[in-house]
Amino acid sequence: MNMQVSPTLPFYHPTGRECELFETAYDHGLPLLLKGPTGCGKTRFVEHMAARLGKPLYTVACHDDLSAADLIGRYLLKGGETVWVDGPLTRAVREGGICYLDEVVEARKDVTVVLHPLTDTRRTLMIDRTGEELVAPRDFMLVASYNPGYQNVLKRLKPSTRQRFLSISFDFPDAETEIAVVARESRLDPARVAPLVRLAQSIRNLSGMDLEEGVSTRLLTYAATLIAGSMGVEQALEAAVIEPLSDEPDVQQALRDLIATIYG
């Protein structure tokens, strides 16, 4: 497999025409939503595209307490004076760049209210505290991501928000691609990466096991990196696969049994 990539770009292996879609969305000022499981490459894809386009990237890891003020900004006390400090979304709008909201459904509901005017023809950001209404420049782009398989009734992206974005679905790559990606990232020989990928695919295909998600490409890369650093396979998989995936003793033992089957 030939994977030529500029050494100055964060590595990303395309699996379809997602790079072309991202560039077209950027050229036309359209927001983009990335959907897919944890650790399948969504964040790396955005990092790669921002570098490819030569644009600054403002990444926000969304969480339960993230509010609109965290994105927009707030007044802070500095040197005895109260000064306004832009948040990452405001900086991206004011200066131009890509603002990436990772796992946007985790943020508080007031965040989507702020995003809506930026995702239609207005492309505006209202800063109530300063009285400003910023119009996004041509080189501003809003990108968000979420994991549809990890949603519950209390944390679900509403259709009124989803339909404001172009969307790309991500999933784990096919075996050949995943072997190449993990080998490149970890510097472990592809022949030694292959059983790791077989293990991952087996775990992802399991049914009836109390796992919220299958093993990610990210975790495979961690395991391969430990093995490349001369750690034993059993110890590496315990630290990079079994422990991260579950705290349940029965599930952990089932994973060990599966590993023994793959590596037996």
CA 102 – CA 153 distance, rounded (Å): 19
The full set of domain ranges for the chain reads 18-169, 175-263
Quick check: 59 and 42 in contact, CB under 8 A? no
Cα distances from 244 to residues 146, 212, 225, in angstroms, run: 20, 11, 16
Rounded to 10 deg, the angle between the 217-228 and 175-186 helix axes is: 50
Element (H, E) at 245: helix 243-245
Tens of pLDDT, residue by residue, the chain (264 residues): 333 334 468 899 998 999 999 999 999 999 999 999 888 999 999 999 999 999 999 999 999 999 999 999 999 988 889 999 999 999 999 999 999 999 999 999 899 999 999 999 999 999 999 999 999 999 999 999 998 876 554 567 888 889 999 999 999 999 999 999 999 999 999 999 999 999 999 999 886 567 878 899 999 999 999 999 999 999 999 999 999 999 999 999 999 999 999 997
Summarize pLDDT for 212-244 with one digit per residue, the tens.
788 999 999 999 999 999 999 999 999 999 999
Nearest Cα to Cα of residue 100 among 91, 110, 89: 89
- Which residues, 6 or more positions from 184, have their beta carbon under 8 angstroms from its beta carbon? 3, 11
Task: Give domain 18-169's CATH number out of 2.30.30.90, 3.90.180.10, 3.30.460.10, 3.40.50.300.
Answer: 3.40.50.300
Phi/psi of residue 68, nearest 5 degrees: -60, -35
pTM, two decimal places: 0.88
Quick check: 263 and 233 in contact, CB under 8 A? yes
Q: Please state the three-class secondary structure of 58-88 as a single string.
A: EEEECCCCCCHHHHHEEEEEECCEEEEEECH
DSSP, collapsed to helix, strand or coil, labels residue 253 as: helix
Tokens 């969480």 appear where?
A: 63
